[in-house]
């Protein structure tokens, strides 16, 4: 088995880009949470608002796709 593609620089770069992507996603989610007129966590978790959960999930996927394309 040939492990030439598994170089320390590639592994370190992948981990670094993953952490940058998660950080950008986290910051953008906080910004979205601040701009909404209600508390997202309270609405989704405690009040079981499924419609809002689907909207937030769609926004999260959109942000993740944008971050992944920017990093790629």
Q: Out of 3-12, 15-24, 61-70, pick the least confident.
A: 3-12
* Chain CA centroid to CA 22, Å: 5
> In the chain, where are the structural domains located?
14-71
Asked if residue 21 has pLDDT above 80, the reply is yes
Asked if residue 6 has pLDDT above 80, the reply is no
* Nearest one of 26, 60, 56, 31 to 44, comparing CA atoms: 56
This prediction's pTM: 0.69
- What residues contact 33, with CB distance under 8 A and at least 6 apart? 39, 40, 41
Interval 24-68: pLDDT, tens: 888 988 888 898 888 888 888 999 999 989 988 998 898 888 878
Confidence tier at 2 by pLDDT (50, 70, 90): low
């Amino acid at each position: 088995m040939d492990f030439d593609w598994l170089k320390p620089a590639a592994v370190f770069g992948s981990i670094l880009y993953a952490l940058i992507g998660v950080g950008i996603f986290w910051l953008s989610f906080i910004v979205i949470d601040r701009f909404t007129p209600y508390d997202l966590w309270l609405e989704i978790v405690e009040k079981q608002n499924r419609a809002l959960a689907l909207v937030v999930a769609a926004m999260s996927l959109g942000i993740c796709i944008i971050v992944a394309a920017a990093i790629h």
